[in-house]
Structure 1
Amino acid sequence: PGVLFIRQTHCNEAAWTKRTIFSVPSFPWEISPSALRSCMSAWVIDQYGTDGVLKYTEEMPVPSVGSTSEVLIRVHAASLNPLDISMKGGYGAKLLNLRRDPMSVMAGASEFPLVLGRDVSGEVVDCGSDVTHVVPGDEVWAAVPPWKQGSLAEFVTLTEYEVSHKPKLLSHTEAASIPYVANTALSALVNAGGLCRDSASNKRVLITGASGGVGTFSIQLLKAWGAHVTVTCSQNAEGLVRGLGADEVVDYTAGDSLELLEMMEKFDVILDNVGGETEEWATGLLKPWSGAKYVTLVSPLLLQTDSMGLLDGMLQAGLSLHNKAMQNIISCGVFYRWGFYAPDGPALDEVSKLVDAGKILPVVEAQFPFTQVPQAFQKVENGHARGKTVVRVVEDDDKRAEGLGRTRRSEAADSEQEEREMATQN
C-alpha cells in the first residue's frame, strides 16, 4: 500500500461534495499575461495527418479571458492521451468542429492551427469577473475538452467549472497525468456504470486493457471505494496493476484467458478499454437479470460521423447503440452502455482529496521536455502504455516539487497503513 510502480523514462483520463466558494477581490495592479504578450510558444497542427504534421511555433496568439466564467492558466505540464494521437489524424473532426462553433461549420471555417493536449497542470494567471473558486496564483489542474485548444502551449483558457485545485502532494508533472483519465473513468463508472463511493463496496468489476491511463486510475478509484477489481492486461504489466490494488489479473495474451474469466464469479460492471471483439464475449461474464452493466469507452460515434457525415453518422451510431442495448437487455437482462469523457471540475476536487490521502497515485511512464513533443507522440503511438506520458512545459522547480511530493505521499501512505493496522487490531 502506498507504493507506486513508476517506470519513468527521461528522454532528450454520482454524488460529489459541493465546492466552497470564496469571494476574493481583484486588485488593480494585477495584469494578465495576455495584456503583456501577444504570442506564445505552442505545438500545433495545420492539417490532419500522421508523420510531420506537428509544428513548433512561437507565434500562437496568447488566449485571453473571453467570458466572465473563464480562467487563463499558465501551463507547467501537459500529458498525452490516445485521443491526441487519433485527433492528429482527423478523428472526430466533424463532430468536434460542430461542438466548437456550429456557425463556423456552416460557413466552412477552419479549425487550424489546432493545439492538442488534453491534460494541464499549472497556475492561474487571470480570471473572469464571475470566477470565485480560483484566483490568480492558485495551482490548478484540469482536463481540456477535445473541442477546445489544448495544453501543449504556454497558456490555455478553460471555464471555472472545468478547473480544480491541484493536489498539494503532487508536482505539476505528476498532476498532469491524471485529469483527463479521471474525468473519463468517473463519467464511465458513475454515469454509465451506476457506481459511486456509497454503492461500489464489494461490487465485482472487470476492467479490460487495464494498464493504460484510464485503467490504472480506475483500479485505484474502485479500490478506494471498496470494490473487488479484476483486470486484463499483458503479463509484463501484472506487477504494475497488482501494485495499484487489482485483486485478480488475467493475461489477455494467454490462450486460456477467456476460460479463466468464465470460471470466475460473474461481474456487476465491466469497463471495456479495448472494444472490438471484446464485446462479443464480455457481456456473457456479467450477472444476468441483476442490473449488471457493460460500459465501453470504444464507441463508433466519432468514426461514423467522420465517414458518413454528421446526420447519417449520428443516426447510424444511435441505431447501433439502441440495437445492442435492446439485444442485451432482452437476452440476459444486462445493460449495454457507452462511456464518454465529460468535463467536471467538482469531480476533480474529490479526486484531489483521494490523491492527498494517498489513495490514488499518479502513474507516469515517460516524461519529455517541451522541445520533444513529437517524440512524446511517438511514444504514445507505439502503444502498450503503462500509465501516462507527460510533457514538461516549464522545467524550473518541478524536480524540487516532485521530491517534496514523494516525501509527503510516503508519509500519507504510512499513516494510512497505520490506520488499517489499528482497525484490524480493534
Structure 2
Amino acid sequence: MLHSASRKVGRGFLGNSVRIGVNVFQNDTCRKISTSSRKQTVMPAWVIDRYGNNSMLRFTKNSLFPILHYPNEVMIKVHASSLNPIDVSMRNGYGAAMLNMRRDPLNIKAAGNEFPLILGRDVSGVIMETGLNVSHFKPGDEVWAAVPPWKQGTLAEFVVASANEVAHKPKGVSHCQAAALPYVALTAWSALVNTGGLKKDNCKGKRILILGGSGGVGTFAIQLMKAWGAHVTTTCAEAAVSFLKDLGADHVIDYKARSVEKQLKDLKTFDFVLDNVGGHTEHWALNLLKPWSGATYVTLVAPFVLNTDRLGIADGMVRSGITMGSKVLKSFTLGYMMVFLLKILFK
C-alpha cells in the first residue's frame, strides 16, 4: 500500500530543491524515500553495467541525479575524485555478494540490481544541499569525504553521503590534493591506530615494517610513523625506492632484487608489521616480529570477501572463520598478535 506525504527534509541551492516530497512505502517494513522537484534529473558519471575489465566502464550524461533519502545526508558537488585499488577490485565484482547486503534496497529495487553502478570512493567538493538534521555543514562549505563501497560512488558530478562520512576540507589543501587522501588515510589509520594501538606517545623508537610501501596506504603509513618517531622499513619495486626514502623511510628494500624474505630476515625483528601485499607473505612475515613482546601483524588481505564471493555469504563466512581463526590461534602460540583488517571497508 502506498501513501504519500510532503514535508521539508532538506535545504540547499540546487534550483527547486528546498521542498522535497516523501513517499512512505508500507509493506513488511516502512521506509522513507525523499524525491526532489529540482529541474536537473540526470548528470554525467562513469558507470559499469556489469562486472568485468576496463571495457565495462561507460561514460554517460544520463546517470540519475542523486537525492537525499534521509535528513542526516548531504549532497556534494564533486570537484575532484581519485581511484583506489578497491575501485579496480569492485569493477571486477570483488565484494558484490557482501556489498549487496549493505546497499540500500530502495536503490537496488529501482533497477532490479545494483547497476548501473558508479565507482569511486574519494571526493573533494562543495556542499550543495543538506538534510534538516545536518547542523555541522551548510551549502557552500568545501568538504572532503570517503564514501563507503556499498553506496553509489564519486566518479560523477554529484554524490550523496551521510554527514558523518564528511569533514571540512583543510583550507591549505587543493581539491585535487584532498581527493587523494580520505580512503587510504582512513585505511592506514584504522590499521595502525585503531587496530594496532600505535599512537604518537608510544611510537618513538619502535621498529615498523610496511610490506608494499609505494601504494596510497603505504605512503601515508610511512609518513605517519616517521612523524611519530618510529623506525620504518618498507618494501617496493626499484622505481619507488628513492621516492619512499624521500618520504622518510629509514630502510627501503627492493623486493625484486632478491628474495624479500631473505633480505628482511637479515634485519632486526619488528614491533609491528603492516601487510598490504598478502599472499605468501603471511607465511614468513610473522617470523619477523619480536616474539612475546606484544608485537602485532595487521594484514589488509583477509579471505572473508573472496570467500563470500566464491562460496556465498553463509559458506563464505564459515570458511573464513575457520581460516582466520586457525591463523590467529597459531600466531598466539608463537607469541604474536595477528589481525585481519577487512580490506573492502577501507582500502
User: Into which bin does the TM-score normalised by the smaller protein fall?
Assistant: 0.7 to 0.9
* CA distance in structure 2 between the aligned counterparts of 1:28 and 1:305, rounded to whole angstroms: 40
Please say if 1:269 is aligned against 2:272: yes
Letter in 2 for 1:37: Q
Matched-pair contact (CA < 8 Å) for 1:184–1:342: no
1:153-164 correspondence to structure 2 within 5 Å: 153-164=156-167
SS in 1 for 2:127: strand
1:370-409 correspondence to structure 2 within 5 Å: none
Q: Which residue, out of 43, 46, 49, partners 1:46?
A: 49
1:15-94 correspondence to structure 2 within 5 Å: 31=15, 35-94=38-97
Deviation at 1:27, TM superposition (A): 7.8
* Equivalence for 2:336: 334
Gaps spanning 5+ residues in structure 1: where?
A: 1-25, 345-426
SS in 2 for 1:207: strand
Deviation at 1:200, TM superposition (A): 2.1
Letter in 2 for 1:333: G
Q: 1:77 to 1:317 in 2, by over 3 A?
A: same
SS in 1 for 2:164: helix
1:11-410 correspondence to structure 2 within 5 Å: 31=15, 35-101=38-104, 109-330=112-333, 332-340=334-342
Letter in 1 for 2:196: G
* CA distance in structure 2 between the aligned counterparts of 1:27 and 1:108, rounded to whole angstroms: 27
When normalised by structure 1's length, the TM-score is: 0.71
CA distances 1:319-361 after superposition (whole Å, capped 9, x unpaired) = 111100001111x2101111236979xxxxxxxxxxxxxxxxx
Letter in 2 for 1:279: E
Q: 1:263 to 1:153 in 2, by over 3 A?
A: same
Letter in 1 for 2:158: F
When normalised by structure 2's length, the TM-score is: 0.86
SS in 2 for 1:52: helix
Letter in 1 for 2:169: K
Structure showing greater relative contact order (alpha-carbon pairs closer than 8 Å, 6 or more residues apart): 1
Matched-pair contact (CA < 8 Å) for 2:95–2:344: no
Letter in 1 for 2:312: G
Deviation at 1:199, TM superposition (A): 2.4
Q: 1:197 to 1:340 in 2, by over 3 A?
A: farther
Deviation at 1:281, TM superposition (A): 0.9
* CA distance in structure 1 between the aligned counterparts of 2:39 and 2:93, rounded to whole angstroms: 34
Q: 1:342 to 1:227 in 2, by over 3 A?
A: farther
SS in 2 for 1:65: coil
* CA distance in structure 1 between the aligned counterparts of 2:103 and 2:157, rounded to whole angstroms: 21
Letter in 1 for 2:263: L
From the two aligned structures, give the one with the greater helix fraction: 1
Matched-pair contact (CA < 8 Å) for 1:92–1:303: yes
Letter in 1 for 2:264: L
* CA distance in structure 2 between the aligned counterparts of 1:321 and 1:168, rounded to whole angstroms: 43
Gaps spanning 5+ residues in structure 2: where?
A: 1-9, 18-35
Letter in 1 for 2:88: I
Provide the aligned C-alpha RMSD in A. Answer: 2.3
Calculate percent identity across the aligned residue pairs: 52
Q: 1:27 to 1:322 in 2, by over 3 A?
A: closer
From the two aligned structures, give the one with the greater strand fraction: 2
Q: 1:308 to 1:339 in 2, by over 3 A?
A: same
Matched-pair contact (CA < 8 Å) for 1:162–1:343: no
Q: 1:343 to 1:131 in 2, by over 3 A?
A: farther
The number of residues matched between the two structures is 318
CA distances 1:168-226 after superposition (whole Å, capped 9, x unpaired) = 22211111111110111111112221212332222211001100111111111111222
Letter in 2 for 1:266: T
Q: 1:290 to 1:91 in 2, by over 3 A?
A: same
Matched-pair contact (CA < 8 Å) for 1:71–1:128: yes
Deviation at 1:141, TM superposition (A): 0.7
Which is further off, 70-79 or 46-55? 46-55
Matched-pair contact (CA < 8 Å) for 1:187–1:342: no
* CA distance in structure 2 between the aligned counterparts of 1:99 and 1:39, rounded to whole angstroms: 25
Letter in 2 for 1:110: N
Q: 1:329 to 1:52 in 2, by over 3 A?
A: same
Q: 1:322 to 1:43 in 2, by over 3 A?
A: same
Matched-pair contact (CA < 8 Å) for 1:122–1:172: yes
